[in-house]
Amino acid sequence: MPELAEVEFFRKEWDPGVGHVVTAVALHQGTRLFRSCAPVLLRENLPRARLIRSEAHGKRLLFRFRKDGEEAWSWLGLHLGMSGKLRCERDGHRAEKHDHLVLAQRGRALVFSDPRQFGRVEFAVGSETPAWWRNLPPPILSSRFTRERMELFLARHGRAPVKAMLLMQEGFPGLGNWMVDEISWRAQIDPARAAGSLSGAERKKLYRSIRMVCRIATTTIAIDFRDPPADWLFHQRWSKGGRCPRTGEALRYDQVAGRTTCWSPANQR
């Protein structure tokens, strides 16, 4: 599921473990999730370490641990990929088939599951923020995500379809397939158009739509998976037969930039 709002929801699933010490680590060594780190480092460093706090940035998550009385941090980075989830289980939880990482604490277990294994675990120890958490692009809902920045990015990728450009995490951290469709629909732009072909008015509308969809998603889905507003494309897109909330016409499902794209031709030009 995970795009910006869902990732933030899953970040908070581990909140019950904040302030508590990890007593044991169980992981499925050799699975694709651990292709970017050495699982032995998690085993060596996380037991006896206390979960201090967590952060989300776009689709990426960072959990910080530290052993009492020691200086160095342990930095655990997670990406949920296509099917990753975080959840909190009771003490003594037995890892199920796709529970690839389980951090046991006294009273609970923090679980990272991911059937498709497109997710990723990163890990580092030290006082410095690890390289993979530095120099991330401005979050869409921050003041650093300016109209000017978006216009530069759009010009740089002028020959790419709007759909492909909006999916690029260096420009729009956290946007995924459904959010990009929602944004294109709201901005009334054909997602297959070249990014460089948008008029000034269309670029302005696109910028506002990006911020609006992220802002509302953050105050609905990210809280407890509650639904976004009833007039969103979101509610129509999941099964064939959906209708455009604006025109009432049948939605179309086409491949754009290699992804199934739900859009309303009468509404998007």
Interacting residues with DNA (CB under 7 A): 1-3, 6, 31-32, 58-59, 79, 81-82, 97-98, 115-118, 156-161, 164-165, 167, 169, 176-178, 195, 238, 253, 257-260
**Residue 124: how many CB atoms within 10 A of its CB?**
19
What is the nearest approach in angstroms of DNA to the Cβ of residue 76? 16
Q: Which is nearer to DNA, 129 or 169 (CB)?
A: 169
Sign of the four-CA dihedral 27, 15, 126, 117: positive
Q: Which is nearer to DNA, 23 or 83 (CB)?
A: 83
Q: Which is nearer to DNA, 58 or 245 (CB)?
A: 58
What is the nearest approach in angstroms of DNA to the Cβ of residue 201? 21
What is the nearest approach in angstroms of DNA to the Cβ of residue 258? 6
Rg (CA), the chain: 20
Q: Which is nearer to DNA, 59 or 108 (CB)?
A: 59
What is the nearest approach in angstroms of DNA to the Cβ of residue 3? 5
What is the nearest approach in angstroms of DNA to the Cβ of residue 151? 14
* Token reading at 178: 């459904």
* Residue 126 identity (one-letter amino acid): G
DSSP readout, 209-257?
HHHHHHHHHHHTHHHHS----TTSGGGTSSSTT-B-TTT-PBPEEEEET
Q: Which is nearer to DNA, 49 or 256 (CB)?
A: 256
